[in-house]
Structure 1
């Protein structure tokens, strides 16, 4: 234990400022994290116990939305903003190719990994649907259709469903986690540029359906839109408890259900592959890490195995619940019904995992904006990670996000179980294996945040 503590403190003190994930780890190791982890697991378990004795419709009542006002944004305005987003992305790709090679100065890595992947994805899931305004393909697709008058020549094969986007999500996660230099500007520019053109080709060939089924980023953002507290319902801008849109939308397809679970699995492996535990499995000395290029294949295999294991365990939990409650619904239907309840957990891990990175790397974004406006260059500091107070606040925020995400998932699952109309007893019995899965995952997620990191 002493060696782990010393190693974690050493890594925390010697880690680079840029693209930081957990520079505060040395202080986190000194906190009573075991107590926090246990409390998080108990909180999720108590939530299920309360649902077993409270009125049957309490969970669904919590997710009722309230309409605030009607809003109908002109299509021309939205398409113009979409087109502007495409132009901006093109400019960023150009800067990635010809601009500085330092990812902390070049605007492309900052825009992709900090502004978009951390900031915009979090806003999409926490607040509301911003992606429909900044989608960089929609405006270009509309413009091409108006200029050429051509319609999509091919019909999207129904058999493909959302599976192309599943492959796209795995490829994106593999690039983020396994590529030796995903933040290198020129390399990132080639990947982003190629992906944009490939997805535009899909849009031209198959029409808008390609974006909502085959394009991974749009599918991801539409999935996280279901978690946000702000959304549309029957023409009204409405608010409700985060996750209310999961209950208000129909059951998802099998491909989209798998997509939801892969979001969680990939995010979890993003944390796992930095830990001493994972490096020990690979037989590597965490204090002499050979670099990402030496672990490309193990990282890809780990990503695939983690997602496969998560899907299998989730399906087993549903099967056990079905057997325990004597339910009549097919397992496939249950899988598609309950998979979206995982989204609050996936979003919570995303926010928690990248919180420290955002606090540090976000300063590079502000500095880049200041330089572009001709203002005084900003001083970038990670000094707040060297004092216990801010570190404890960060940890508590991360842990709180994870626990809240699991509690919301439990409430959603219970509301869906009650909708099956098989009675309270069967609903509660059927939820026990899934609830145990979520309690275990709460403990696992909090452990990921608290454990020493070596990569």
Structure 2
């Protein structure tokens, strides 16, 4: 994610972008994806790749010879023994607080400064609400399902328009979660291709609220929450990795109990194919966000693709504004191609697995069964890509709260001066933290794959053979993730 100060006109912005990217194609000594600070890897990248691959293979072999008694049981869910009870009033208070926070972001984006570094709407939405909701769900469970601010808004609106609660039409279940995927794609497109002004956050929040109302009027509030709410689905999926299970009780209270997330993931192994597409897009969008700002990627466009385009359209060689349009078209095309490539690669691996398997499951059925193995890979790669934003923006939290609109307010007298220099983060620590995060996600994926395979009667006969294609997928994603993070930024 990149925040841009967009005070230039459209034509000037495009020309500046073209000039910046042309400079980005010059040689650089940076050897790591290191936030504009040159950093040399202590050892060559191929050694990291070999070490990561070896770790995955060793983990795979250990699981192959692990006694089945030590594997998590995935029989019927055990009855709850002890659970923490949260009253409905606390959940409603949290839901209202989050709704008011989003309202503040919408107002700040419209009425405050358009400098994204001084307006709370950019950091508040992208980091504290969007990314924060994902990470909180992965650690503490699906809290978002009970404090969803848009659900609260729909309940209020349903008192005036009862059709919002029940809807007017029947939703075609064959569409499954593709509407949520489309909404998620729109959110990521705003992140990648927006101009970086706080006003964009306001427009998106208003548009998303209107989207929720319109869909609820057509199909009902519960259908919108389940099939159309991209943020809700994203949090539900990430909550599968949490050791905490949130169970609704009578009267609106909620019980929280411990569970084995791996066993639950192996139990719920018949996801719609749209979930495979959703998780593939989650992984692909993060990879593209990391790749598009690197020197080799921009050099590939300006050095290999753009000259061929100019050869057929000479006007692009002299008109910088048109060159900016060509770059934008290339970025959109590459974004769509990357998303499609990750999904098709996963489907190809599942098809290969079906061919060599003795079970009656075809490639689509295996993709539905094993798509959940993409979840830890996508989530941990997302954390490795964005966790530095929490570090950087965390230092600005008090300043943004003290002056949310960027108008020079000082609501908190204890806020430190903005002139104080922030300490520089050791890039070696960041790089190795990213490596460990990526490796942890892929090792967890190997473990989930093994549990699903060994607990399935159709696949257990295949043994190692049934898991080899997915092991190859995991190794390929590990190496590609490390390679992307190692590229120098443009």
- State the TM bucket, normalised to the shorter chain: 0.7 to 0.9
Q: Residue 462 of structure 2: SS of its match in structure 1?
A: helix
On the 8 A contact 1:29/1:451 being kept in 2, the answer is: no
Q: How does 1:183-332 map to 2 (within 5 A)?
A: 183-206=196-219, 207-232=221-246, 237-239=256-258, 243-249=262-268, 251-283=270-302, 295-332=327-364
CA apart distance, 1:165: 1.0
On the 8 A contact 2:105/2:121 being kept in 1, the answer is: yes
Name the structure 1 match of 2:444: 408
Q: Residue 245 of structure 2: SS of its match in structure 1?
A: strand
CA distance in 2, matches of 1:161, 1:73: 31
Name the structure 2 match of 1:15: none
CA distance in 2, matches of 1:400, 1:68: 35
Q: Residue 68 of structure 2: SS of its match in structure 1?
A: coil
Cα displacement string for residues 4-57 of structure 1 (whole angstroms, at most 9, x for unaligned residues): 997254x99xxxxxxxx8326522545554323321121112111222222235
The answer to whether residue 104 in structure 2 is matched with residue 91 in structure 1 is yes
Name the structure 2 match of 1:104: 117
Q: Residue 274 of structure 1: SS of its match in structure 2?
A: coil
CA distance in 2, matches of 1:115, 1:68: 34
CA distance in 2, matches of 1:255, 1:58: 32
Q: Residue 289 of structure 2: SS of its match in structure 1?
A: helix
CA distance in 1, matches of 2:173, 2:74: 36
On the 8 A contact 2:384/2:434 being kept in 1, the answer is: yes
Q: Residue 241 of structure 2: SS of its match in structure 1?
A: coil
Name the structure 1 match of 2:412: 373
Q: Residue 208 of structure 1: SS of its match in structure 2?
A: helix
Among 379, 384, 388, the residue aligned to 2:424: 384
On the 8 A contact 2:276/2:343 being kept in 1, the answer is: no
The answer to whether residue 385 in structure 2 is matched with residue 353 in structure 1 is yes
CA apart distance, 1:329: 1.1
CA distance in 1, matches of 2:279, 2:260: 20
CA apart distance, 1:120: 3.0
Q: Residue 170 of structure 2: SS of its match in structure 1?
A: coil
Q: 1:76 to 1:424 in 2, by over 3 A?
A: same
* Alignment RMSD (CA, Å): 3.2
Q: 1:381 to 1:298 in 2, by over 3 A?
A: farther
Among 54, 75, 78, the residue aligned to 1:42: 54
Q: 1:126 to 1:243 in 2, by over 3 A?
A: farther
The answer to whether residue 35 in structure 2 is matched with residue 23 in structure 1 is yes
The answer to whether residue 167 in structure 2 is matched with residue 152 in structure 1 is yes
Further displaced range: 234-243 or 31-40: 234-243
Q: Residue 231 of structure 1: SS of its match in structure 2?
A: strand
Specify the structure having the higher radius of gyration (Cα).
2
Q: 1:8 to 1:57 in 2, by over 3 A?
A: farther
Task: Tell me the TM-score normalised to structure 1 length.
Answer: 0.85
Q: Residue 256 of structure 2: SS of its match in structure 1?
A: strand
Cα displacement string for residues 117-136 of structure 1 (whole angstroms, at most 9, x for unaligned residues): 33332222233223124312
On the 8 A contact 2:269/2:372 being kept in 1, the answer is: no
Which runs of 5 or more structure 2 residues have no equivalent in the other structure? Answer: 1-23, 250-254, 305-319, 404-410
CA distance in 1, matches of 2:180, 2:113: 32
CA apart distance, 1:367: 2.1
CA distance in 2, matches of 1:383, 1:6: 28
Name the structure 2 match of 1:18: none
CA apart distance, 1:111: 0.4
Among 122, 136, 161, the residue aligned to 2:176: 161
CA distance in 2, matches of 1:433, 1:8: 37
CA distance in 1, matches of 2:263, 2:26: 42
Cα displacement string for residues 79-125 of structure 1 (whole angstroms, at most 9, x for unaligned residues): 44323322321221011101012111111101012212333322222
Among 178, 185, 188, the residue aligned to 1:170: 185
Q: Residue 395 of structure 2: SS of its match in structure 1?
A: helix
CA distance in 1, matches of 2:234, 2:216: 17
CA distance in 2, matches of 1:239, 1:37: 36
On the 8 A contact 2:36/2:489 being kept in 1, the answer is: no
Further displaced range: 335-344 or 114-123: 114-123
Name the structure 1 match of 2:252: none
CA distance in 2, matches of 1:56, 1:227: 22
**How many equivalent pairs are there?**
434
CA apart distance, 1:77: 4.1
Which runs of 5 or more structure 1 residues have no equivalent in the other structure? Answer: 13-20
Further displaced range: 413-422 or 138-147: 138-147
Name the structure 1 match of 2:372: 340
CA distance in 2, matches of 1:26, 1:239: 44
CA apart distance, 1:334: 1.0
CA distance in 2, matches of 1:148, 1:424: 53
CA distance in 2, matches of 1:31, 1:62: 42
Further displaced range: 417-426 or 92-101: 417-426
On the 8 A contact 2:359/2:459 being kept in 1, the answer is: no
Q: Residue 23 of structure 1: SS of its match in structure 2?
A: coil
CA apart distance, 1:351: 0.5
CA apart distance, 1:78: 2.5
CA apart distance, 1:411: 0.8
